[in-house]
Amino acid sequence: MTLQDKSAYGLDGVIAAETALSHVDGERGELIVAGARIDTLAFAMSFEELAARLWSLADGQPRDPKTTTRQFGQARQRAFARLPQLLAAARDLPLGAGMRAAIAALGPEPDLPPEVVLSGAMPVITTALLRTQANHPPIPPDTTRSHAADLLYMLGDGAAPPSKVRALQTYLVTVCDHGMNASTFAGRVIASTGADLFMSVTGAYCALTGPLHGGAPEPVLAMLNAIGQAERISPWIEDALSRGERLMGFGHRVYRVRDPRANVLKDAIQGLGEGDLGFAAQVEAYARAALAKRYPQRPLDTNVEFYTAILLDTLRIPRQAFTALFACARTVGWTAHALEQQRMGRLLRPASRYIGEGVGGR
């Protein structure tokens, strides 16, 4: 379909809300979350502390990070106790769809805020679905652990070493929030109607799953695996581009330079001392050059998903769970935006230009 007026094509640059949560500067390649640059924040704050800070900014209610951390543990426990109901419609579906069904089955808990119920439940659902589908019983959470440590523990490899916990925490903090991205916008639209946070997060998760948004890291790994060796980088990428395919892990709607989260996650992988960064760097360099040659007017650089794929793979997270892991982090951002939108109290309702027949009797 050809649009007659492309001014709002994809809503680029349209401001739909004011936010105190995060800011993406696409020209300078800068991301500010909760008032701090992501390259500083990612190694300085725990995921639970950041959640407390974002939620406080969103609804103006101060939160004690220690209380929030304790509530995260309670929410994981509560979700585990409710797994039979949560997984009832989910266990026979592919993981991405199973997550949708399980999230949709979540509901309020009398003694926990909904943003914590949702954020705490995500890793429980993710790990339980992964294990159930592999014919293993789910592992109950250990509330004495941090959210990142417990996520790795519930996957089933025992207590993860501190280096892995640190790397996962860096990932969770890094992708926790990112301005008015597609899933956050979807969640804010739902929250703006007065619907509750459970409705909002279910919708936001659905928007996340597409390959143009949070579904990209699994194809990134598939691409790296398919290329396989240095000699195949050039022919593989040239073939893909000549077939009109998009290279997963490159390009961004807002960034015109390298996504700052890519460097943070690359540093996190280096901190692990594992993972084949040499080969990945060769693929990245070739892909950037090939994209620059093909689209000289449109800078297409590395985005967050390229190193997400490598980091999560190095942490032995099964690739079918990459988008679910993204959701484990982003639920904090989604709920914060939903709270902020509710506080704003304005229904989001854009317009469309009618190009059909029948107006004025014509």
Ligand X SMILES: CC(C)(COP(=O)(O)OP(=O)(O)OC[C@H]1O[C@@H](n2cnc3c(N)ncnc32)[C@H](O)[C@@H]1OP(=O)(O)O)[C@@H](O)C(=O)NCCC(=O)NCCS
269 binds ligand X (CB under 6 A): no
Give dist(CA 22, CA 138) in Å, integer.
35
Q: From the CB of 46, what's the least distance to ligand X, in Å?
A: 24
Q: Verify whether residue 252 is a known catalytic residue.
A: yes
Return phi, psi of residue 158, to 5°.
Answer: 75, -165
351, 7 Cβ separation under 8 angstroms: no
Please state, in angstroms and rounded to a whole number, the distance separating the CA atoms of residues 265 and 280. 13
DSSP H or E segment with residue 129: helix 114-133
Q: Binding to ligand X by residue 319, rule CB under 6 A?
A: no
Nearer of residues 23 and 166 to ligand X, judged by Cβ: 23
Q: Is 223 in the site for ligand X (CB under 6 A)?
A: no
Take residue 35 and report the two structure tokens written for it: 């008032």
**For residue 60, how many other CB atoms are within 10 A of its CB?**
11
Of 51, 172, 176, 247, the one binding ligand X by CB under 6 A: 247
Residue 252 in contact with ligand X, rule: CB under 6 A: yes
Binding status of residue 246 toward ligand X by CB under 6 A: yes
Say how many residues make up the chain.
362
Q: Which stretch binds ligand X (CB under 6 A): 42-50, 267-275, 298-306, 338-346?
A: 298-306
- Pattern of binders to ligand X over 122-161, x per CB under 6 A? ----------------------------------------
Q: Is 179 in the site for ligand X (CB under 6 A)?
A: no
Q: How far is CA 325 from CA 111, 152, 202, 287, 330, in A?
A: 26, 11, 15, 26, 9
Contacting ligand X (CB under 6 A), which of 177, 284, 305, 313?
A: 305
* Beta carbon of residue 67, minimum distance to ligand X (angstroms, whole number): 33
Binding residue for ligand X, selected from 11, 212, 289, 347, defined by CB under 6 A: 212
**Rounded alpha-carbon distances, angstroms, from residue 234 to 17, 223, 245, 276, 302:** 43, 13, 15, 18, 17
Restricting to residues 276-295, name those near ligand X by CB under 6 A: 291, 295
- Which contacts (CB < 8 Å, 24+ apart) does range 353-361 have? 353/4, 353/5, 355/4
Q: Which stretch binds ligand X (CB under 6 A): 46-54, 99-107, 185-193, 302-310?
A: 302-310
Q: Give the shortest CB-208-to-ligand X separation in angstroms.
A: 11
Nearest CB to ligand X, comparing residues 216 and 310: 216
Q: Which two tokens stand for residue 303?
A: 């985005």
Cα dihedral sign for 116, 118, 122, 128? Answer: positive
Residue range at the interface with ligand X (CB under 6 A); choices 58-66, 68-76, 157-165, 297-305: 297-305
- Distance of CA 95 to CAs 19, 100, 225, 322, Å? 32, 9, 21, 10
Q: Is 49 a catalytic residue?
A: no
Near ligand X by CB under 6 A, which window of 43-51, 107-115, 300-308, 309-317?
300-308
Instruction: Supply the minimum distance, in Å, between the C-beta of residue 223 and ligand X.
Output: 10
Q: Return the number of the residue (247 or 317) whose C-beta is nearest ligand X.
A: 247
On whether the CB atoms of residues 201 and 114 are closer than 8 A, the answer is no
Show which residues are catalytic.
252, 305
| Interface ranges with ligand X (CB under 6 A) | 212, 216, 246-253, 291, 295, 298, 300, 303-305
